[in-house]
Amino acid sequence: MTGKRRSAEALTSKAINTVINNKETLTLQPALKSLCTLFLNNPGPVQLKNFDSQRNNPYLEVSPEQIQQALLYLELTDRLVIVLREMWQLSYWEIAGLSGLDKNKMAEVLAQGRLRLRNYFFPR
Number of structural domains found in the chain: 2
Domain match, 99 and 42 both: no
* Residues 93 and 108 reside in one and the same domain: yes
Report the CATH number at residue 117. 1.10.10.10
pLDDT given for residue 36 in this prediction: 81
Over the chain, what is the mean pLDDT? 79
Contact 103, 96 (CB under 8 A): yes
Whether the CB-CB separation of 80 and 40 falls below 8 Å is answered with yes
Asked if pLDDT for residue 13 goes beyond 50, the answer is yes
Q: Are 84 and 99 in contact (CB under 8 A)?
A: yes
Q: Does residue 67 sit in the same domain as residue 112?
A: yes
* pLDDT of 110: 93
Q: Is the pTM of this model over 0.85?
A: no
Identify whether residues 85 and 108 lie together within a single domain.
Answer: yes
Q: What is the distance of C-alpha 15 from the center of its chain?
A: 15
Q: State pLDDT tens for residues 50-103.
A: 545 555 555 667 777 788 888 888 888 898 899 889 888 889 998 998 888 898
What HEC string does 30-76 produce? HHHHHHHHHHHHCCCCCCCCCCCCCCCCCCCCCCHHHHHHHHCCCCH
